[in-house]
Amino acid sequence: MNASDERFLVTGALGCIGAWAVKLLVDDGATVVTFDKGDDAKRLRLVMGEDGPSRVTMLNSDITDAAAIGRALDEHDITHVIHLAALQLPFAKANPPLGALVNVVGTVNLFEAVKARAGRIGPIVYAGSVAMYSAHDAVDGLLLEGAIPHPGSHYGVYKLANEGTARIYAADDGVSSVGLRPLAIYGPGRDQGLTSDPSRSILSVLLQRPFQIGFGGRTTLQFAPDVARAFITAARSSVSDARVYNLAGSLVSIDTFIETLDRVVPGAAELVTHQGPALAFPADVESVSLTELGEIHVTPLEDAISQSVALYRERLEQGLDPAEHGLPDA
């Protein structure tokens, strides 16, 4: 199918990965319909420019509303679905019932809607998470493919449940799917959540403000545009069952991240510090099987930071408000 014939529904499109997925799809020439309960398109404007929202059809809809999902699929003749709508870890921890409703029931709603339109929509591509594992599930810091998960949070439990949901819909109803498990996403648009500090530190440095990253140790950093492109690649695949993959990235220490940022923006190391333990997830992930989907690009850390700096600088010159992107007024 040519990109010009594709009609993508992106749930959670106003989040970081959603915004990048929308940008890349529009750049490809696909038609995009966003499905998000929020109405703040700040991340779309950040990554696409001020006219970004006008280049897509935006639906102010709730993933817990099953009827709304069905209407969106039918009224816009959707051919592909990328499912990113979720309540992130800190918010799911603060309100577990709402977290279960959005993250688990919302996902079931989507699978039900696609099931009722069998044969018309390609594999559902949904966001899993390495948060379904604890650091103890890794071997010498490496999370092997096929490792048995032991979630340490409600959020991790919800993500694990969604993988089970996907398997059952494939086995019972023939609904194909791909789950992708990110770890620590960084880049423009990553302004909230447990692992947003590296991204926010980049913007802080450009404003000449000090910033403390709230964790240390090593982790696998994954550049937001790369993650979004992986979701798009999966959506265009010919998968006919239920697959789940760990996402690759750059395994680095937070010290190395700061040193690299300092090479891109001299003086950054004088502004950015870190404090706290390593993240409670495996530091590195095995992702050999990911190549089944095709080529999955990983932008080198320094290149990714340079691209982030360039975009932030451009938007700051255009009047970007740092408070809207994770940096309260100094």
pLDDT at res. 2: 83
Domains with residue ranges and CATH for the chain = 3-183+222-248+282-298 (3.40.50.720)
CA angle 128, 132, 133 (to 5 degrees): 130
3-state secondary structure of 297: coil
Taking Cα atoms as reference points, which of 311, 317, 329, 328 lies closest to residue 43? 311
pTM: 0.96
Q: What is the pLDDT of residue 330?
A: 61
From the first residue on, what is the mean pLDDT of each consecutive set of 10 residues in the chain (330 residues)? 89 97 98 96 97 96 97 98 93 95 98 94 96 91 92 95 98 97 96 92 97 96 98 96 95 97 98 94 91 92 98 97 87
- How wide is the angle at C-alpha 194 spanned by C-alphas 190 and 199, nearest 5°? 30
Distances (CA, A) of 311 to 22, 46, 252, 263: 17, 8, 23, 17
Contact 153, 95 (CB under 8 A): no
Residue 227 CA to residue 47 CA, distance in Å, equals 14
Tokens 């998470």 locate to 129
Question: Cα separation of 261 and 279, whole Å?
Answer: 20
pLDDT reported for residue 22? 98
